[in-house]
Chains A and B, each alone.
Chain A
Amino acid sequence: MNQKEKWIEDQMNAESFIEHVPPSEELMNRLRAIPSQVKTTYDTVPKKVVWAVAASIAILLFVNVISFSNYKTSNTETTSQNEVSDSYFSYLKQL
């Protein structure tokens, strides 16, 4: 083994120059405190709020349905009015 190969082998022998470092006592204390700091349960939304949101959605849907049906009715009326005027003006066009 020449000098270069020996140098490469030494360099690659990582375990010889990287020593094991134990965790500090400060870190151990931080780790031991995890269960008291971490919240595993979640706050639930109050039932009143849930019902209020559900009622708001229901009202919103109801208003939308009403406005849509009104829009449809007014649209049908407009179409029939348009048909009368169209037939009148088509007569004029022919002239």
Chain B
Amino acid sequence: MQLDDQSFLSLAQKNKERAFSYLVETYSGLVFSACLNTVRNKEDAEDVTQEVFTAAFLSLEKFEGKSKLSTWLYSIALNKSKEFLRSKTRKKRFGIFTVLEKEDSHIVPEGTINRDHPGVQLENKERAEVFFKALDQLAENQKTAYTLHKVEGVSYTEIAEIMETSVSSVESLIFRAKKRLKELLSDYYERNER
């Protein structure tokens, strides 16, 4: 059963449980994928996905249909994933407080987050590691826009809605992300591959 967003709205008003069930069956893959590509670990992505759907269930009445359902869920997924990464980094930092005192406090220590993306096959692990390391060097909004477009295949218009910005800003973010990634990968190549 495929519902358009308006039919979903009326279903949500009549029967919240059924509307939620539709949401889970239709969008769980999309939400899980978005969480996984941000936290890059299966167990953590599952926990965040559960949080996303709990938040969606609790605020189902607030969905007015101004944006697409997928856009709404992507926004929640991105916020929850970022929140998760922040909290995880904070906890670990507290544990190694004495070491970090001497270092730049905004740097996430190596190994803080266990990143073992299940969508990356063994033969591509090294390649993915290089890519993710470079990706992590980008500014937060560049990384989000690039991941959504390149990995998730989300359109510029939808990214603009998810990130609450204009399409031209998204284009610019992705352009700058590509440029910076090229520079970073070029540096890596110079140092390691030659």
Contact = CB atoms under 8 A, between A and B. Distances in A.
Contacts of A8: 182, 185-186, 189
B58 A32 contact: no
Contacts of A60: none
A14 B143 CA distance: 13
Contacts of A7: 185, 189, 193
Nearest to B181: A12
Most buried by B among A23, A28, A40: A23
B131 A20 contact: no
B119 A21 contact: yes
B131 A12 contact: yes
A34 B182 contact: no
B24 A38 contact: no
Please tell me the size bucket of the interface on B: 35 or more
A26 B150 CA distance: 28
Contacts, number: 92
Contacts of A38: 54, 57-58
A27 B28 CA distance: 9
Contact of B36 (A11, A21, A26, A32): A21
Mostly, the A contact residues are helix
A4 interface: yes
Interface string A11-43: 110110111111110111011101100101000
A62 B186 CA distance: 77
Interface of B: 16-17, 20-21, 24, 28-29, 32-33, 36-37, 42, 46, 49-50, 53-54, 57-58, 117-121, 124, 127-128, 130-131, 134, 150-151, 153, 178, 181-182, 185-186, 189, 193
